[in-house]
Amino acid sequence: MKRILITGSNGLLGQKLAELLLPRTSIEMLATSRGENKLAAIMPTLPFRSMDVTDPEQIEKVVSDFRPTHIIHTAAMTNVDQCETDREGAVILNRDAVQYLIDACEKYNVHLVHVSTDFIFDGENGPYDEQATPNPVNFYGETKLMAEELVKQAKCKWAILRTVLVFGVAHDYGRTNIVLWVRDSLQAGKVIKVVTDQFRTPTLAEDLAMGCWLAVEHDAEGIYNISGKEMLTPYDMAMQVAEYFALDKSLIDKANASTFTQPAKRPPRTGFNIRKAEEELGFRPHSFMEGIRMVADQA
């Protein structure tokens, strides 16, 4: 029987993993996150323990007690601009915590599934396959690349799942997503500026959760790209959202990245080739329009 420990269960991906795995009687699962369990009200049967991944003693205690066969590591500082302005915090959460988890995985023979990002690339020639050479253009990407290098050197079994622009609806979660932002802005009659010069393969959070589960189910090792298949700009995404909700597309203004002042530089064209995950794991992502429909049903 697989025994799966999830880090960051209060986050978007962590919540989707809990929803996906809790009904499966063939596995045992333990959700962990810093602080209290945000899912207690909606998933009262979810096994949960508070665990701060930046505290190696807490990791040691939880892992030694639960004895997982797999850890799915979703906890991270993912706010790209915050990583740029709080570099020390980004290193602690995105690099050091990964080393602490690796130490526990090596000690207790645990298979580590580590979630990474397209932002390890400079975006000069996306979409990327798993063999592409990383070259991050912001500090978030640098810290996630540091973590990948640690995982690759680990003596436990490991898989790195890279993903792109994850969107979805989470319970008691402070951050919005592009679908809800566009919908709510247009419903309020606001004009929004959306960039046309950044390209991504946006990923529905439920699809990323399924990719994590497939990696566990197959005991996958190595690097896998887990994302949507469609290469879209944020402007393309906004237009699809307006179309789905039958809202006024004339409120959506084209802009380029230089219009916005952000602490962190964004890579212009990332996105992934997901053929490896399709062929080896049976990964089948939803289309972006299907993702909009799922988000609409939840919010």
Residue 282 domain-assigned?
A: yes
Tell me the three-class secondary structure of 153-190, residue by residue. Answer: CCCCCEEEEEECCEECCCCCCCCCCHHHHHHHHHHCCC
Instruction: Count how many domains the chain has.
Output: 1
Whole-number pLDDT of residue 175: 78
Residue 239 domain-assigned?
A: no
Whole-number pLDDT of residue 172: 87
Arithmetic mean of pLDDT, 273-289: 98
pLDDT at 12 over 80: yes
Looking at residue 25, the DSSP 8-state letter turns out to be T
Residue 291 domain-assigned?
A: no
Task: Please give the residue that has the higher pLDDT: either 177 or 237.
Answer: 237
Phi, psi of 196 (to 5 degrees): -110, -5
Looking at residue 132, the DSSP 8-state letter turns out to be P
136-180 tens-digit pLDDT: 999 999 999 999 999 999 999 999 999 999 999 999 887 788 999
Whole-number pLDDT of residue 108: 98
pLDDT at 115 over 90: yes
Query: Which residues 6+ apart lie within 8 Å of 8 measured at CB?
Result: 14, 32, 33, 53, 73, 74, 75, 76
Tokens of 50: 């508070």
Arithmetic mean of pLDDT, 65-92: 98
Q: Name the residue range of residue 155's domain.
A: 2-169+202-229+271-286
Whole-number pLDDT of residue 173: 81
CATH number, domain containing residue 112 = 3.40.50.720
Whole-number pLDDT of residue 195: 96
Task: Please give the residue that has the higher pLDDT: either 243 or 257.
Answer: 243
Residue 87 domain-assigned?
A: yes
Cα 96 to its chain centre, rounded Å, is 18
pLDDT at 254 over 90: yes
Residue 177 domain-assigned?
A: no
Distance between CA atoms of residues 13 and 177, nearest Å:
13
pLDDT at 181 over 90: yes
DSSP structure string for 48-110: EEE--TT-HHHHHHHHHHH--SEEEE------HHHHHH-HHHHHIIIIIHHHHHHHHHHHHT-
User: pLDDT band at 23, cuts 50/70/90?
Assistant: very high
Residue 48 domain-assigned?
A: yes
182-215 tens-digit pLDDT: 999 999 999 999 999 999 999 999 999 999 999 9
Residue 296 domain-assigned?
A: no
Closest CA to 236 of 263, 276, 200: 200
Distances (CA, A) of 72 to 7, 8, 21, 112: 6, 9, 12, 6
Residue 187 domain-assigned?
A: no
